[in-house]
Structure 1
Amino acid sequence: MPNPPRVLVLNGPNLNLLGLREPELYGSTTLADVESLCRDVAARHGLDVDFRQSNHEGELIDAVQEARTGAAAVVVNAAGYTHTSVALRDALATVDAPVVEVHITNIHQREPYRHRSYVAEVADAMICGAGVHGYALALTHVAHLLEKNAA
C-alpha cells in the first residue's frame, strides 16, 4: 500500500505561544492542540502531516523548499511573516502543489498593516477568522484539491 500524501503544515513566528499569547485574540488552544487536530483531520482524509513551527524566516523557507519535492500540499500560517516576507512568498511560489494560507484571526479586521498578505499572492486559498478550526478547513480543502487534481 502506498504512503499517504504528505502535507506540510507550517507555522511561523510566535505560534509556539498559542494558548499563552493574547488569548482574547487567539484563544486558549495550544500549538500541540493544533497539531493533534491537524493529524486527526488529515488521517480522516487519508493524508499524513509534517507539522512544523519556527520563529526563524530562513527555517520556514528551508521547509518550503523541502516541500517542493516531498509534499503533496502546504498549509501555511506565516503569522507575522505574512505581512513582511517577500522571501517566504517567493519560496511558496516555487511549490508546484496546492498552498492554503491559514490565519486564526481575521487579518482584514485587524491593524491596517496586517491587511496585506504576501502569501495570498501565491496561495490557492486563504482561510482566516475561523480560529484554529481554520486548520481543519484548510486540510479538508487540500484533500478536495488533491482528489480533484487526481481525477
Structure 2
Amino acid sequence: MDTKRKRVPFELWNIWKIESWLIEQAQNGRILEKLSSFRATFRLAEPQNLEYRMIVMPEKDTTPTNTQELEQAGWDYVTSHQYYHIFCSQQADATTEIEKDLMKQAQSFSGILLDLRKRLLFNVLMIVAFIGLVIALFMDVEAISEWLNVLCQA
C-alpha cells in the first residue's frame, strides 16, 4: 500500500479550506489516513468523489457524541488530531440534518479561540504585574513617583 505525505497548506482552524483541499486530494487519488498540524498522510488509490467533514470539539482529544449517528448516515470516521475529527462519505449529496449538526459543532471553534485569547491575556497581565512588583521592590518609591510625574507632564 503506497502512501504519500503532504504539507497541510492551511491552518487547521480554516475548516472549509481544509475540507475542500481533502476533497480535491481524493479526486486526485489520495485518500486521507492521518492528519497532524502540518502534515497529512494519504493512501494512494483510484480517484474518488469523497466528501470530508471536520468536527471541532471544545475539549482536546474528546470524540464527537454523535459518531454512531454519523456512521449510520453514511459518514466514515477517518482520523483525529487534538480538537479535530474528520469523517468522509461517498455520498454525492452529503447535506443532511447531521450535516447541520456538524456545522454547529465546527462553529464551536470560535469558543476555543476565545478561551485561548482570554488565557493569553490573563498570562500577559500577570507577567506585567509581576515585573511591576519586581521593579517596585528594587527601586525607590520616590524615584518612581518622580518618574511618573515627568511622564504625566510630557
Is TM more than 0.5 here? no
Q: TM-score, normalised by structure 1?
A: 0.31
Structure with higher strand content: 2
Q: Give the number of the structure with larger relative contact order, counting CA–CA contacts within 8 Å between residues 6 or more apart.
A: 1
Q: TM-score, normalised by structure 2?
A: 0.31
The structure whose Rg is larger is 2
